[in-house]
Structure 1
């Protein structure tokens, strides 16, 4: 059972807690309480093992293909968290004996995981256990653990095994060659792993500091080694009121780390460096290292983002802090060769691959709140141009066709070919998204556009952005198909954001965003021609842009864009959606588990029903409103309302990405109660009472969406072409909201109260803000009276 009200004092609304242990429902706590720092993610499995556990240590960028017929994925590294504990010679487990006052909790503020409980053995002996753990934000290679065991009533024989266990796999697939193992000085344990296909070396080193009643434990441990496993065994006797404290410090380094990614790389150098680093910190102890870690979180995260709300429901604030915590630990801010996985670094789901989730649902948080990190994530996409160009060429197109699923930037398309069972045929279903879900290419173009307009980062555009925009436009120009009968270009045989509709023609989202991509390329070409001809000349030499511009212009002017129906202003999701048969969807709208419709219908049958997996037309309306084209094809408030009212009842939200978009649009059109309800539902995808919703990992895009609903929805912050717009409409029970965003390189401190919007900034520049149709020019301080629309 999860609880969120156990935080007291300075930790009020900071604590995510599990207060009941269940060996059959381990996945949720392991996922939502996972620890990380962007370099690595450590799933929060318990120290003692259980049958249904999932132990994952994932390091960003270490992709490997286990077998020729499988796609590349983040490999599950050796486990360092398992500790085999024996009490009086019997394996310790919470499945035996009696457990009282069990609490496992993640402190979001300090990013430390703790677990405490009292346990009575089957023989009636009472002990107190306390476990602590963190993955350092101060030293991205460090994992620190602490175990305390106190005998309360009688003497006990206590023993435990702890080390490095490489007998791990990814759901059965083994990614590593058998590596070297060694124990130095009966204290420092080393294990080397090397991926079988990508040849990435991993150096894991660990050491223990043992104390009994505050004094260093002097007895030497037993050294043990077996296949892919090396560990130390400790034995001792605890008298009543005596306490064992064991500290375990582990470091992880890989040959993918920038300091080792050199042509003269040698494994021996990695091994030596990693071992020496562990030795250098081994004397500092858990408490000192934790203090450094906590300081990094306070300075670099909580004070930096400065988000706070005054709500009658304290859960709202905790949910937003939960989002910022996870956005921090999922993001490889240290390395622009790496992206964000759909399950972050919390589990093996989606194999660590990056989707459009990043650009549309996660990147906006960083674009507005931490532009340097946003820039790194976009540079990851720039480095993926080689793979995108290869995919376009393999499919008979020009330019850059971005992969639906991306791993190492040059890998290209890594989407699996086969997926779930077809309930009609019993066969595996074919996964078409890697072949025909192509809107990701324009999604990335939109992300570049959004980043540039928010940050004014000319250097990024000159080095990376313009080339990405131009070559993605080249793809769309080659992708369009001429319809001779209608004398216009179509985009046929695609999957839009609504993945319940495969092989459709003229998906509205895909067509409009392709049009945006083409028009954006034209706009930037003309702008460079006027103000930066040197950059244009260099890009023209590489991409032959003179010929491209004419092609973009011709294709864009004749591209079919689905228009609203006259009778109700509904934009057709695709050529056939509005003609499909309707069924009663209430069963699936109220389901506890997503994708319940697959239990009754095959993919082919779902394709013929007026049902939507996730926001499609609605996300188009949300994104289009932020572009420089919003006045070319006018999307009115009435149109937003009509499409929301039509599509929301047909949308099952079977993708965690969907709820945030619906919540933002609901707020835009004055449905504030529905907006908050959808926001709450989005937070409960991971934090809710369903104990199995996060078994494969957290829902990274939904977590980004939690922040987006608060800032873009309730606070009304939005890119309005090149201008910052703030139209707040807070939930009724929110009295105040405070946060920091960056605009044109300047931090702005925004406070929304019941009566006003206050914007403060440390700048001498005159800035413009639009609020409820009125434009304000200001410098330093601005107070805007609030329009009360809720």
Structure 2
């Protein structure tokens, strides 16, 4: 890929990397998404991907043997109808780039405008030469639609070119069990230059709703810029509609197809109204026309970048990386629908199936709090509140009772649908991340009313789970938590994972605070009555756990131990096994489990969340102990290390980890970009700059900043929203410049100096003198 500030550029075609490029150049608008596939036929290596937000299929979990409480199904984000397709025949020969000789090729994702463009010149096996130009976008304004401008120009012949824009529902997921398909056709319509195809997910035995998606298209054609009066022959096959247009062209004529498409689903429309709504939607967007749609779309992106951009001077790779991450976050989730969440692959691939992991709470909420505003982050929390009943059902399936809630590791509708037992049953720290997100949201926004409205019920249900999951050890004379998997998934079924124990105790402590707050400031009585809460015995039991929980610790090294028995391992460092990496692809699982090597931050994840609980010496000792053993084979790992390294003044390490997270997919660090991008970890890239290099924190309602400049950068600047005010922070070699353009002051502490800030100021980094 060519380094560029605003674009991802492929300047020659590399078919062996095509699936990687398709992932990188995916488009979305929060409602629908599309991988960077070609519009015309391509029979080479490709992963076709079209996705509609909130639409999934409950695929039967297939295991060799069953366990009580095991999820019945694995939710899949399913590949939906292919709306971008435009078949091209030249003199009766199908245009297929895989069989052509590529003379010139350039594919560009323009992140500034949210547009994918391509231009290529090819020679077909017949000797006919063509130039192809395409431009498309998933509309950020009319967010259930997309548009394509597709141009063909014959270079050395006169002859017939047949264009067939189509909608194709004969698609399947690559990870489908036994090549199953997930769609049945419900209805289809064709008319002049228009088609509608309604598909429904197949029946399932799990009580999960079936979804209908109506995909519609209209198209228009120009030759040499003039609208053509053409004949379109409708085609209707199984799960397929098209319009076939044969045309005579002369050498150097430019034939352009404007294709408009919509995806309306029963997740946010009445199934019985999908066809009339689709027709009305198509009428509205085609009436606007391509140029107006393009202008509105690019203007919407300009407004997003006005608030969300991070500008880096002096380091092109770093600049491209951060914008790439912000771009995909913004097109994956817009926050306008509280029934949606952020999938780990977004609209870029089908791996990992379900939509919601703990990644949302741990990594994404901080980004959306600063970059998109309070309501967007609030909707992410409300999403979990709406699924509290399902979380209680999930816990009941595992033998818990009395309103205890275990939120799922992976979910679409609140039910657990992850199919690896050591994750499904044991990686219960996810509960703590949801509690922490409530705290993080309130700390950032000051919206304490959220506790009374939604938060307290969730916190009590999670705390009830921790009380039952923890037991008293007569041997240790301590409370313990047995048989868990921490964030480091290269350790399974361990006892007393430090991070899990710590976040459990912290949740209990924060819930006690929340109860006291709501008792003083809200209607605690009605909440207690609703959930049958015993305000005497339950808090008392929680406090005993808080006071008596066991935390593994090494007194010699003065570090927290990842779990009981961690020191029984052979303690090696990553540089001693560098030729055997990545270990998840080169080692047996048995060998991984017996090793000391860490997939992602575990103890350090806890120190990142709760760094105010520990002094710098504690942070430093634990960082020095665990970081050399961490292989970072989870996308969620480098950003945590970058933020902690910044806090510890380890600037070179912080930058190394930043670059790894910023370019994780661009440089295919983990050899898995072809499956789709790591959307949720992209928020960690943003955090590495804002929380790492700029030192942004919130303490007691005060916005804290402690910026420094990475050695290879000339400057950087960004904006953050905080309690109704948007601040601009700029850092260069000599100074820090802050701008608060509003009349509302912000409680700000920068470089240790606190004030109520409004207006503009400059802090001289040489002597830290504030220049008014």
TM norm structure 1: 0.90
**Map of 1:427 onto structure 2:** none
Per the alignment, residue 212 of structure 2 pairs with: 201
Are residue 179 (structure 1) and residue 186 (structure 2) matched?
yes
1:713 paired with 2:692, answer yes
Indicate the residue corresponding to 1:249 in structure 2. 260
Does residue 611 (structure 1) correspond to residue 600 (structure 2)? The answer is no
User: In structure 2, the residue corresponding to 1:320 is in which secondary structure?
Assistant: helix
Task: For residues 445-478 of structure 1, give each alpha carbon's deviation from its aligned partner in whole angstroms, at most 9, with x where no partner exists.
Answer: 1111011010112343321122222221121122
Q: Secondary structure at the match of 1:405?
A: coil
Distance 2:761 2:747 in 1: 10
Give the structure 2 partner of residue 465 of structure 1. Answer: 455
| Counterpart residue number, 2:229 | 218
Q: Which residue matches 1:127? A: 130
CA contact (8 A) 2:600 2:633 kept: yes
Q: Secondary structure at the match of 1:485?
A: coil
2:68 corresponds in structure 1 to none
Structure 2 partner of 1:421: none
SS in 2 for 1:72: strand
Against the structure 1 CA distance between its residues 761 and 315, is the aligned structure 2 distance closer, same or farther, given a 3 Å change threshold? Answer: same
Alignment counterpart, residue 479 of structure 1, candidates 461, 469, 489: 469
Equivalent runs, 1:109-188 vs 2, <5 Å: 109-171=112-174, 172-184=179-191, 186-188=192-194
Aligned to 1:452: 442
Q: Secondary structure at the match of 1:514?
A: helix
Instruction: Report the Cα offset of residue 504 of structure 1.
Output: 0.4
Alpha-carbon distance in 1 for matches of 2:130, 2:187:
38
Distance 2:534 2:739 in 1: 43
Residues 691 and 163 from structure 1, CA distance in 2 versus in 1: closer, same or farther, beyond 3 angstroms? farther
SS where residue 734 of structure 1 aligns? coil
Verify the 8 A CA contact 1:508 1:617 in the aligned structure 2: yes
Residues 331-480 of structure 1 mapped to structure 2, 5 A cutoff: 331-370=333-372, 371-398=374-401, 399-410=403-414, 412-417=415-420, 431-480=421-470
Partner of 1:556: 546
SS of equivalent to 1:64: strand
1:61 and 1:407 in contact (8 A); partners too: no
Return the alpha-carbon distance in structure 2 between the equivalents of residues 44 and 237 of structure 1. Answer: 30
CA contact (8 A) 2:391 2:407 kept: yes
Mean Cα deviation higher: 91-100 or 635-644? 91-100
C-alpha distance in structure 1 between counterparts of 2:151 and 2:29, whole Å: 25
Cross-structure match for 1:33: 25
Tell me which of 268, 273, 280 is aligned to 1:276: 280
User: 2:634 aligns to what?
Assistant: 655
Q: 1:90 to 1:616 in 2, by over 3 A?
A: same
Counterpart in 2 of 1:425? none
Distance 1:748 1:93, change over 3 A: same
Residue number among 601, 608, 628 corresponding to 2:588 in the alignment: 601
User: Which residue is equivalent to 2:7?
Assistant: 15
Output one character per residue of 1:35-67: Cα deviation in whole Å (capped at 9) or x when no partner: 001111111111222242111111111122144
Distance 1:124 1:491, change over 3 A: same
**Residue matched to 1:327:** 329
Q: By how many angstroms is 1:591 displaced?
A: 6.3
- Structure 2 residue ranges without an equivalent (≥5): 63-72
TM superposition shift of 1:764: 4.9
2:99 maps to 96
State the match for 2:557 in structure 1: 568
* 1:665-695 per-position Cα deviation (integer Å, ceiling 9, x unaligned): 1121121112111111222211116695311
Structure-2 change in CA distance of 1:269 and 1:598 (3 Å): closer
Once residues 228 and 22 of structure 1 are traced to their aligned partners in structure 2, the CA distance between those partners, rounded to angstroms, is 32
Aligned match of 1:58 in 48, 51, 56?
Answer: 51
**Bigger mean CA offset, 750-759 vs 208-217:** 750-759
The answer to whether 1:734 aligns with 2:713 is yes
Judge conservation of contact 2:88–2:162 (CA < 8 Å) in 1: yes
Structure 1: which 5+ runs fail to align? 6-12, 418-430
- Describe the shift of the 1:211–1:780 C-alpha distance in structure 2 as closer, same or farther (beyond 3 A): same
Specify whether residues 583 and 732 from structure 1 end up closer, same or farther in structure 2 by C-alpha distance, changes over 3 A only: closer
Task: Measure the CA separation in 2 of the matches of 1:787 and 1:725.
Answer: 20
**CA pair 295-591 structure 1, distance change in 2 beyond 3 A:** farther
How far 1:118 sits from its partner (Å)? 1.6
Say whether 1:577 aligns with 2:566.
Answer: yes
The Cα shift of 1:616 comes to 0.7
> Shift of the alpha carbon at 1:706?
1.0
CA distance in 2, matches of 1:59, 1:97: 32
Deviation at 1:573, TM superposition (A): 0.4
Could you give the per-residue CA deviations for residues 282-312 of structure 1, whole angstroms, max 9, x where no partner exists? Answer: 233222211110011112x1112243222x1
3-state DSSP of counterpart to 1:512: helix
Alpha-carbon spacing, 1:543–1:754, altered in 2? closer, same or farther (3 Å): farther
For the Cα contact (< 8 Å) 1:27–1:692, is it kept in 2?
no
Q: 1:498: Cα distance to partner?
A: 0.3
Distance 1:127 1:235, change over 3 A: same
Change (3 A) 1:589 1:746: farther
Distance 2:727 2:558 in 1: 38
Q: Which residue matches 1:293?
A: 297
Judged with a 3 Å threshold, the aligned counterparts in structure 2 of structure 1 residues 28 and 491 are, in CA distance, closer, same or farther, namely: same
CA distance in 1, matches of 2:10, 2:144: 28
In 2, Cα distance between equivalents of 1:754 and 1:283: 52
Cα shift readout 1:157-191 (whole Å, capped 9, x = no counterpart): 2113221100011223321222211103x222010
Distance 1:132 1:587 in 2: 48
Cα distance in 2, alignment partners of residues 730 and 472 from structure 1: 41
User: Secondary structure in 1 aligned to 2:665?
Assistant: helix
What is the CA-CA distance between 1:347 and the residue it aligns to? 0.8
What does residue 424 of structure 1 align with? none
